[in-house]
Amino acid sequence: MIEIEKIRVKDVMSTPVFTINGNATVKEAADFMIKNGCRGLVVEKTDEEDAYGIITVKDIVYKVIAKGLPLEKVKVLEIMTKPCITVPEFYDIKYAAKLMEMTGLIRLPVTRGDEVVGIITLRDIIKPFL
């Protein structure tokens, strides 16, 4: 039987982390997501004191397309979620799963210190049990 408390976030997270600048357009973000087969991008910090953000396909659909806004006119920083909730790489996956349950999120950026080093999704958490 697998001991969930022994499986660390870093053991199941997905890499590489795809990032984007907040000043990029939503069209650029959408193009990048489609080309790279990802559903979310970490938005880069502007300086040391800043927090990471995140933009997802859901953000693009709900906050831009559903409102009839042109993707090439809206900047990522206008619709991203910031600060985004992150999880340290050395935490166990049970903690990550509980954090996702409490927040309703399906993906979390994974941090090592102040650097984002991966993404953990619901699918990543299931993998060790298959």
User: What digits encode the pLDDT tens for the residues 29-75?
Assistant: 999 999 999 999 999 998 888 999 999 999 999 999 999 999 999 99
Residue 109: band (very low, low, confident or very high) from pLDDT cuts 50, 70, 90? very high
- What's this model's pTM, rounded to 2 decimal places? 0.89
CATH 3.40.640.10, applies to 4-129: no
DSSP structure class, residue 92: B
Q: How far is CA 74 from CA 83, 89, 127, in A?
A: 19, 33, 36
CB-CB contact of 74 with 67 (8 Å): no
